[in-house]
Structure formats: C-alpha cells, structure tokens
Amino acid sequence: MPIVQISRIQHRRGKATDLPQLAAGELGWSVDTQKLYIGNGTVADGAPAVGNTEIITAGSSAFTTALTYVYKGYLGNSTPILTGASGDFTRSLQATLDDHVSVKAFGAKGDDSTADVVAIQRALDELYSDTDQDDARARRVLFFPAGVYRINASLKIPPYAHLVGEGPDKTVIRNSGSNAVAVTMDDDGQVYGAIGNSSATTPTQIQIEGITFRNTVAYGGVSIDNATKLYFNNCKFQGSYAQGGVDDANSKGITVRSTSALPCSQITFNQCQFTKFARLVDLSHDVTNVRFNNCDFSISRYGALLGGTLDGSTNGMTVGPRDVQFSGSSWSTIHQQAIWSKNASGSVYPRNIISTGNWYAKDVANSNLGIGSVNEVPIIQFDNDECTSLLDFFERTDLRRADGSSHMNAAPELQGIGIQSKAIKSFTLANNQSATTVNEYPALAGKGLKITYKIVRGTLDRTGELIISASTNGVNYDDTYTESGADVGVDLTAVLDNKDSTAGNETVALKMATTNATNPATIDYQTTILA
C-alpha cells in the first residue's frame, strides 16, 4: 500500500527505559542500547497489536530473541501444520540455524588458496573431541560446501564424525604435505600409536559422504587407524600416480593400521572412486568385514594389495585382512593384478577374500599394453585359500576369439588357490557338425573345471556335468548326464589348444559335435574353475 502523510513521520531518541508508546510509523532511537523501534499504530488502523516493533540494527539481539521461526510444512501458509500441542512451537532463528553447521563457520574458505587445515581441524575438534563430546547433541553433521580446501597436514578425524560434502570433484580436500590426506584419531586427539590411551574413545561410528580426498604428492589418501564402523559414501580418493609408474609403498589410496588390542573392523565403501595411487587399496594389518560396493578402481600399479607386508608377528599384523569383499565394481587401467591376496609366512594369510559381479577391463593386469601382451599377469591372484571369484566379467578374455583370429592370454583370469564361478553362457551348433569350439579357458594347466549344462535339441534335452582335469600332458574329462528320452545326439569333449608360447600355460577348449538329426542343439552352461 502507498505511504500516506509522510510528513507526519516523527523521530524520538533517548534511553531504552524511557521509550514511550510510539505513534504509528514513528521512529524511536535508543541511544544506550543502539536499537531502533517503530510504532505499530492502533488496532483500528489494522495493526495486530498496539506496541513498538524493533527494527534490526547492529545492536539488535536479532538471532536470539528478535526473530523467530515456525515450521510451516511443505504447503507453507496456505495450509500450515500444527507444531505444538495447542499451537505453533516457536524457535529463535539462532537455534534454527544452529541445527546445521558448516566448516565455513570455523573460518575455512575452500577457495583453493587459503590454508584451511587449522580451521577444519578446529571444527572437528569442537564438534567431536572437546569435553562435551560425550553429549550426543554435540555430534552434528559438519557440512563442507563445494570448494577446494587446501591443507598441508593430515586431517585427524575423531569418533562420531559425520562429514558431508556436495559430491566428488565439488567438495575437494587437497593435501600437499608429506602425509596422508586424513587419518583417524580418538576423542583425546591421539593418533596411531597412542589411540585409546587413558581410556579415550577410539575412532568409531564415522560417516563421510560426497568428498574428494586428493593428495598432490606421492602419499596416501585415508589411513583408517584402530577404527571400527566407518562408512564412506560417494567419496573419491585421488593421488598423483601417473599411468605406468613404478610401485610406491607410500602411495596408498586406502590403508588400515591396527594393533593387536585395537584391530580395525566394519568398514564400508559405497559408490566410491579410487584413482591415481600406486596401490588403490593396501591392507596388511588386522582388519575384518571390509566392503567395497559399486566402486570404481582405475589408474594404478596394483588395484587391491592384501597382505603385502603381513608377517604374523608384528603388532597389529598377527592375522591380517579377513572377510574383504569387492562387489559390483569396475576396474580399469591397472598395471598389475586388480586383486592380489598375497601369501605370508606360515599359516598367516588373508582369508575370505571375495570378488563378485565385478567388471575387469581389457587394460587390467597387462602393464596397460593391451590384449595379448607378454607382460600379462593374472587379473586376480589368490596365493591362499578361502577365496572366491563369483560371476565376474573379464573383458580381456571375452575379446579373444575361438576362430584363431586372436589368441588366448598367457595368464589366467584367476590364479592361485580359489574357486571361480563364471556367468551362464549359451551356444548353438547346427545339425550334423563335427567338433566345434564352444569356449576356451586360458592357462589352465593343473586346474580343474566343472561345467554344469543343459542341452536342448528339438523335443529332446540332456542335463549333465562335465568334469575336466587339465595338465601340460593332456586333458582328462568325464561327462555324466541324464537325458529326457532318446539320445540327444551331442558329444562334448575337452582338448588342449596351445594358443600361447609359454610352456605349461595351456588353453583348454570345450568342444561340441552334433549327429545328423535335423535340429540344431543349444547348450546353456556355467563353468566353475578350481584354480
């Protein structure tokens, strides 16, 4: 509405205790409190109540008393909800804003220029490690707005920390010091070697999401030390390793450090990215129940190196990694093995290492030189038992043809001690065909195969199991099956097919032949390999 009779606006000044009832639109300045008021006017004029309304100034207690907040719901004022038992519950704006906290409230800039390590550490300490940390109300979510936060020393992440960024390559913590980007600590600020001293709470219940941990020098990403119950969601771990570079034991995307008294356990990575570290994952200390789900691993010397320095006697390395699973993840541009579970001395070694439903690109485990490189090594290497590869897809094998236009790899998909179950495949052979290659299995000398199959030919079918034992001297096989009625007229055999020049690394070819019975024959089969 238009302002009327502007010439009648008056001004008063004096002490707050002498503030009178101001006329409608009249201004009153409180000299001693530095506050400004305006008269409401009368109810007859349309004011909700007679009185004076404070106008916000630098002297106002605006966020604690002057401004209030009432939750209205998603429909707002059109259909407000009731927040109290008999009316709306009102909170101050200060209390409402304090429901959320940003690292910028502690002085961090995120401008890729300012040294932010002190400000971020202050936020972590104040929220999770100070004297009131035992009060659950202090353990708020710490928000990292998009930006690059430069640090030159490891951030120390305490128990109950919950850090949230705006996503990989949006919120970036960028380290340029000779250390990991982040390590875990206890609630007294003690790091590895002293964690848990004086009954301090050890690192636990830590959640981190939507943050890139980037190291611009040849050091690590995150070291999980004496910690339990850590959860990383949609994070990125990025180092400075260049494709084709040499191994560097300091360049680890993720590692753990345990002691015998305080081993690590229950660590989960969901939809995370690991790239440009010599070792994307390096686990030798005692740790159990580690999960990598729907992650991406790329550009490294080794993908996951498990038990590399495990010796069975060093404090914290007495049993090694156990129950480590990689599922639904992709692996590419990895110079050597994607997963290598190494054997340690005596009976101490990583146990229950599982790869399931992963995709391994053609540039994995061949020095990034492509299919057929003489530098190929196993994509997965299990030097110990209790390990499994289940329904994994290996692109470098799938791209090799059975017609001789390309050759099988000199190294197998999986090597060592373990079991590999491959996905179901199908093959159709026309009527009256001589022995034709259905599939080839690379570098299987000394390995056993079990092929479970069903053959359908017109109205006839056969269900069976073909057991193959391969050595450099030949192949032995046994085909045990049951047919629905008459003879299906299909013969399954296995032969050695020396497609590579490496002695002792022979290829086993599964072959199929059909008699003259009019109909083609289709075999659906699944292969299990005992490595």
**Residues paired with 98 in a beta bridge:** none
Cα 473 vs. chain centroid, distance in angstroms? 45
Residue 448 phi/psi, 5-degree rounding, is -115, 145
pLDDT at 267: 98
How many whole angstroms separate alpha carbon 39 and alpha carbon 5?
15
Q: How many residues does the chain have?
A: 531
Amino acid sitting at position 463: T
- Rounded Cα distance between 250 and 252, Å, is 6
Residue 102 near residue 144 (C-beta atoms within 8 A):
yes
How high is the pLDDT of residue 406? 54
Candidates 230, 252, 278, 275; CA nearest to 180 is: 252
User: Which pLDDT does position 445 carry in this prediction?
Assistant: 67
Q: State residue 369's pLDDT score.
A: 66
Residue ranges per domain, the chain? 6-96, 100-240, 244-249+297-423, 425-530
Q: What is the pLDDT of residue 3?
A: 45
- CATH code assigned to 100-240: 2.160.20.10
Per-residue pLDDT of the chain (531 residues; tens, 9 = 90+): 344 454 555 688 888 888 888 888 888 888 888 888 898 888 888 888 888 888 877 666 654 555 778 888 877 777 778 888 888 888 887 888 888 999 999 999 999 999 999 999 999 999 998 756 678 888 899 999 999 999 999 999 999 999 999 999 999 999 999 999 999 999 999 999 999 999 999 999 999 999 999 999 999 999 999 999 999 999 999 999 999 999 999 999 999 999 999 999 999 999 999 999 999 999 999 999 999 999 999 999 999 999 999 988 899 999 999 999 999 999 999 999 999 999 766 678 899 999 999 999 989 998 766 655 556 789 999 998 889 999 999 988 766 654 544 555 567 888 888 899 999 999 999 999 999 999 888 767 678 899 999 999 999 999 999 999 887 677 899 999 999 989 999 999 998 877 655 555 578 889 999 999 999 999 999 999 987
Locate 149 and state its tokens: 């936060």
Nearest CA to 289 out of 224, 241, 243 is that of 224
How is residue 410 written in tokens?
Answer: 């000199």
Cβ pair 302, 284 in contact under 8 A = no
- The pLDDT score that the predictor gives to residue 164 is 98
**Reported pTM:** 0.85
CA distance 395 to 184: 37
Amino acid identity, residue 59? G
HSE toward the beta carbon, residue 508, CA cutoff 13 A: 27
- CATH code: domain 425-530 is 2.60.40.1680
Domains 100-240 and 425-530 share a fold: no
Give the pLDDT confidence score for residue 343 in this predicted structure: 79
User: Which distant-in-sequence residues (6+ apart) come within 8 Å of 505 by Cβ?
Assistant: 410, 411, 412, 442, 443, 445
Question: CA dist 375 to 174, 335, 337, 398, 446, Å?
Answer: 35, 10, 11, 18, 21
How far is the CA of 253 from the CAs of 132, 270, 364, in angstroms? 33, 15, 18
CA 450 to chain centre: 34
CB of 132 closer than 8 Å to CB of 161:
no
User: Strand locations in 361-445, DSSP E?
Assistant: 380-382, 387-390, 393-394, 414-416, 419-421, 425-429, 436-441
Burial per residue of 264-289, b for 16 or more beta-carbon CB atoms within 10 angstroms, e otherwise: bbbbbbebbbbbbbbbbbbbbbbbbb
Which class for 489: exposed (0-12), middle (13-18), buried (19 or more C-beta within 10 A)?
A: buried
> Judging by beta carbons within 10 Å of its beta carbon (0-12, 13-18, 19+), is residue 123 exposed, middle or buried?
buried
Task: Copy the structure tokens of residue 104.
Answer: 């910028």
Of 285, 279, 250, 249, nearest to 264 by C-alpha is 285
